[in-house]
Structure 1
């Protein structure tokens, strides 16, 4: 049984409020889980318990905008384990169906582990009923902590048994010191074996990298440095050569470093298109979804390109003296041969149609193979929570932004998700754009 998956299914279906609990168990439909049972959702504090995940899911399914401080206060008062604010965003994104998986779910661990005290009670009850006791499965950690002595197994196959006490005494014997080179003058030995230059350059052959105390090597003079280069066959280098070598070590500057990033939106007006140049800038700047249809009817002017001042997570600082950073929003992709402009494209809102990418320069784009496209550019698909996404979206590596049809208080969460994903994408690519 996987309690997290079962709880997630009920959150997505809107039935989590029907689940109940008592002092020992969490009841979800016809399933029961020990409250203190361990899930495989790993946090900095360890693995979350079933009660922590369940209580968190019930609270935020009922009120997604609930303050975390209020949730913590109520949870502690009711004597439930809680979810920290560091894990809230990721866990809720998974439980609510916003994303299909979580990197914090440890697939190497069992999805559900019964508490040790409950396992002991179950075993005692089984013995009392003359039934065989149920033994817990070994986990990875318990196996690593097991005794590694295989003498019993070897004995079963007829191997000679080893006296453990004798083996321990042998291990305690200190090897005798050797004086193999005692009759050789140490300095003369190293001169012959390693060359006199090693000693003259201040390298102590007695030192080891395994020594506990780190020793600082003496500063090398220019004459010693040149002699060392000669020994390595490099000869002496001119000042110009040294400058070239130094410059080669420096990171090559990106030709678009410091330029503003580009975000592309669909140019269409279909019923499945939630964002175009009417309303995308409005959402990305003001955190609120206004339908492009309403803006079109109101007579708003549609531009093919607009410069957006992003203020989210960009307060005034040395890095952002103006308190914002500029992005270019457009529905006209750059010319296919304009590599510099394409290097600035960081995100795209997809319509769910493969032909949207037919003039894109990335490998496979013309044939509908968008693996490289969504590796280079972070893709986003926006829809209402009551709509079914286009089938092709399931095959694409894009982030789904799900908006409530008639309620706008959840728009902020999707706004934050968009910008956080863009930042993560750019950091992963070590982009030198000004973002």
Structure 2
């Protein structure tokens, strides 16, 4: 079973698009709620120890990843303004090394943490989203003009050149043979 943290890591390493929509974080065909807990344990300070383990949410880790270029105090302030918990300073280096693929794992990843099953993402029909210009068929103007001119060209042609009488096109013997053939109506009777 996949977990949101490892999927986020793979998408980050492969530079794939991650979509945030309707309180969901979408990775291709699967999604998790933004507030789903990852299996990355929060390092607690010396006076904050206890038996209860705390984990970063997927939204928190993604926000950290998107704002890694900010210095820590600015990042923490912006995360608080966005009402998103910030990744704590002691966790930054190891978490970033893991997310960038520099390390395969780290001590803060709890393999026994409960995992939430992802939701399958249904693709919207193109009518719902509207077709983008890239998906629309491309028809060159010269081709369209050429197609538009074809019907009018045949109408503008001289009548005697385009239409021949039946007697001019076929011989007398061929006409007689056509007349002699039984019609569909005759065959049904």
Q: Deviations over 1:310-349 (max 9, x none)?
A: xxxxxxxxxxxxxxxxxxxxxxxxxxxxxxxxxxxxxxxx
Equivalent residue number for residue 49 of structure 1? 57
1:98 Cα offset (Å): 0.9
Equivalent residue number for residue 59 of structure 1? 67
TM-score normalised per structure 2: 0.52
Which of the two has greater helix per residue? 2
> Within the alignment, does 1:85 sit opposite 2:89 as a pair?
yes
Q: Deviations over 1:414-434 (max 9, x none)?
A: xxxxxxxxxxxxxxxxxxxxx
> What 5-or-longer segments of structure 2 have no aligned partner?
45-53, 119-189
1:28 Cα offset (Å): 2.1
Whole-angstrom CA distance in 1 between matches of 2:37 and 2:58: 6
**What does residue range 110-189 of structure 1 map to in structure 2 within 5 Å?**
110-112=114-116
Kept after mapping to 2: 8 A contact 1:8/1:94: yes
TM-score normalised per structure 1: 0.24
Q: Deviations over 1:200-232 (max 9, x none)?
A: xxxxxxxxxxxxxxxxxxxxxxxxxxxxxxxxx
1:23 Cα offset (Å): 5.0
SS at 1:40's partner residue?
Answer: strand
Which one scores higher on RCO, CA 8 angstroms, separation ≥ 6? 2
> Once superposed, which parts of structure 1, at least 4 consecutive aligned residues long, lie more than 6 Å away?
none
> Within the alignment, does 1:105 sit opposite 2:113 as a pair?
no
From the superposition, tell whether residues 77 and 113 of structure 1 become closer, same or farther in structure 2 (CA, over 3 Å): farther
SS at 1:69's partner residue?
Answer: helix
Whole-angstrom CA distance in 2 between matches of 1:84 and 1:92: 12
Cα RMSD of the aligned pairs, angstroms, is 2.0
Kept after mapping to 2: 8 A contact 1:39/1:113: no
**What does residue range 153-302 of structure 1 map to in structure 2 within 5 Å?**
none
Whole-angstrom CA distance in 2 between matches of 1:30 and 1:20: 11
Equivalent residue number for residue 40 of structure 1? 39
1:29 Cα offset (Å): 2.0
1:9 Cα offset (Å): 0.8
Aligned residue pairs total: 108
> Within the alignment, does 1:24 sit opposite 2:32 as a pair?
no
From the superposition, tell whether residues 59 and 31 of structure 1 become closer, same or farther in structure 2 (CA, over 3 Å): farther
> What 5-or-longer segments of structure 1 have no aligned partner?
115-435
